[in-house]
Amino acid sequence: MKNMFIPSHYKKLKRGPQVILPKDIGIIITYANVNKNSICIDAGTGSGWLSISLAKICKQVYSYEIKEEFIKIAEHNKKIENLENLIIRNNDITKKIFEKNVDVITLDLPNSEKVVRHAYKALKDNGYIVGYVLHMEQLKKFFNKLEKYKFKNIICIENIMRDILVRKVGVRPSTKGIWHTGYLIFGQK
């Protein structure tokens, strides 16, 4: 069966650690106002699917990753897409963010909430912070940190994609599918 969660142009990319799926990447793009003028930071890089998707759209992307094995996969994927505006940094974003006047910061870490105070400093006014979190507990922690740092327009969502089967015998949703990947939380400086 074809996998509707991986559109064909993503299939050439390697998958090492668990990736953020295109169904969630798309929402990050429209909800964080990602566009060709954007300067973005992404952490952790992982296999680089989100960083690469952003770099195909943005002016510049800085991607933070502490594990060298993941950086190798992401560099491999970057080469496939031939992207010069993606810089993958071997730095720990929970310690420091080097860039300033950033438009968007996306976070997919087990402890993303620790980055909120650095993100606040690095972001432009009205810039977006985005958390991709797996559990309700992490959502709550991240949310509370956004409130503490006075981020505005906080939105917490779950984006769910459903497969529809169109066949001679009739149209109906697919029996089985992916129900949950992660929650997305957005705040604006």
Closest CB 43 distance from a second copy, rounded Å:
20
Residue number, 68 or 166, with CB nearest to a second copy: 166
- Give yes or no for residue 114 binding a second copy (CB under 8 A): no
Question: For 152, how many CA atoms within 13 A lie in the half-sphere containing its CB?
Answer: 4
Q: What length is written for the chain?
A: 189
| Residue among 1, 79, 125, 169 that touches a second copy (CB under 8 A) | 169
Which amino acid, residue 68?
E
| Residue among 1, 2, 68, 69 that touches a second copy (CB under 8 A) | 2
Rounded distance, CA 45 to CA 67, Å? 9
Q: Are 85 and 57 in contact (CB under 8 A)?
A: no
| Residue among 13, 19, 22, 73 that touches a second copy (CB under 8 A) | 22
Residue number, 91 or 156, with CB nearest to a second copy: 156
Residue number, 33 or 91, with CB nearest to a second copy: 33
Helix (H, G, I), strand (E, B) or coil at 114: helix
Rounded distance, CA 92 to CA 148, Å? 23
Find where tokens 């779950």 sit: 158
Interface stretch with a second copy, choices 33-41, 63-71, 91-99, 117-125 (CB under 8 A): 33-41
Find where tokens 């890089």 sit: 45
User: In the window 119-148, what residues touch a second copy (CB under 8 A)?
Assistant: 134-140, 143
Interface stretch with a second copy, choices 24-32, 39-47, 92-100, 113-121 (CB under 8 A): 24-32
In this structure, the number of other CB atoms found within 10 A of the CB of residue 143 comes to 19
- Give yes or no for residue 178 binding a second copy (CB under 8 A): yes
Q: Are 52 and 76 in contact (CB under 8 A)?
A: no
Site residues for a second copy per CB under 8 A: 2, 4, 7-9, 22-23, 25-36, 53, 56-57, 134-140, 143, 153, 155-166, 169-181, 183, 186, 188
